[in-house]
Amino acid sequence: MSEEVIVYERVGKVGKVMLNRPKVLNAINNAISTGLGDAIRKADADPETNVIVLCAAGDRAFTAGFDLKESIESPIVDVPARRADSLMELNNWRSIWEARKPVIASVQGYCIGGGVWMTFLSDLIIAADNAKFGEPELKYSYINDVLVEPWKMPMNLVKQLMFLGDFLSAQDLKAAGVVNFVVPADKLQEETMKLANRLAEQPPEAVRMLKYEVNKTYEIMGMRNAMDFGAEMFNLCRIHQVQEQEEFNKIVKEKGLKEALAWKEAQKK
């Protein structure tokens, strides 16, 4: 691979894990899906750092979400393989939750689908004032692969995000108690490092025990079981999507996602 799609960099006591596909708005391809967990675990194991920052290259997007064209062109519908693929993704995303060190998500521009799950599984979120969070999967007959939203947001806001595909601003999610800090877009990197360095100066082992204490409490309340259940529902929906949306998927393969969405809209008239 000529270019790393996930880059790790140590900056003082901060380990930075960066999504690095800015030309395609950091769309999540197979390499990112399979590599995210390794990158987070590498950062967590680095003895020189106390805090992990999860960020993304470019100005326009943290990530445009999963590369749907890739998944539609190579669907996995065999049940054992489908479950194995979903478990791989769930475990990679959950590495953020399971990291001993605190993880700060630093978000700019569009944060869609899998990007929402990455940021919501982080311990703190700092967002640029141009950040927009969205989950439009339902319009493609998909449902959530990594279900973390009900543990971070009020129920009706979760359903608005998922059912309607509405984008929520950084300010919306700050008001909902999800985003911790909203800063000007041109100050995001600077303010992220200020926050990370502030946290890095806290007693590191005490911070790690505190993270484990808080996260374990949510797991006792059922978070881990709910995420496992969500992955199983996604498996059923993904197999159903391939069967039900045959024409839509065919247009995606032959003409692209934009044409497929236009065709789908035309069917409503």
Residue 162 falls inside a structural domain: yes
pLDDT of residue 262: 82
pLDDT of residue 246: 76
Report residues of the chain scoring pLDDT below 50: 1-2
Q: CB 220: neighbour CB atoms within 10 A?
A: 9
Residue 1 falls inside a structural domain: no
Q: What is the pLDDT of residues 84-107, one digit of tens each?
A: 988 899 999 999 999 999 999 999
CATH no. for residue 56? Answer: 3.90.226.10
Going by the DSSP 8-state scheme, the letter that residue 162 receives in this structure is I
Distance CA(135)–CA(117), nearest Å, equals 10
Residue 40 falls inside a structural domain: yes
pTM: 0.90
Query: Which residues, listed in sequence order, are joined to residue 16 by a DSSP beta bridge?
Result: 9, 53
Q: At what angle do helices 223-244 and 79-98 cross, to 10 degrees?
A: 140
- The total number of structural domains in the chain stands at 1
Full residue range of the structural domain in which residue 184 is found: 6-266
Task: Scan for tokens 């996260």, then name that residue.
Answer: 215
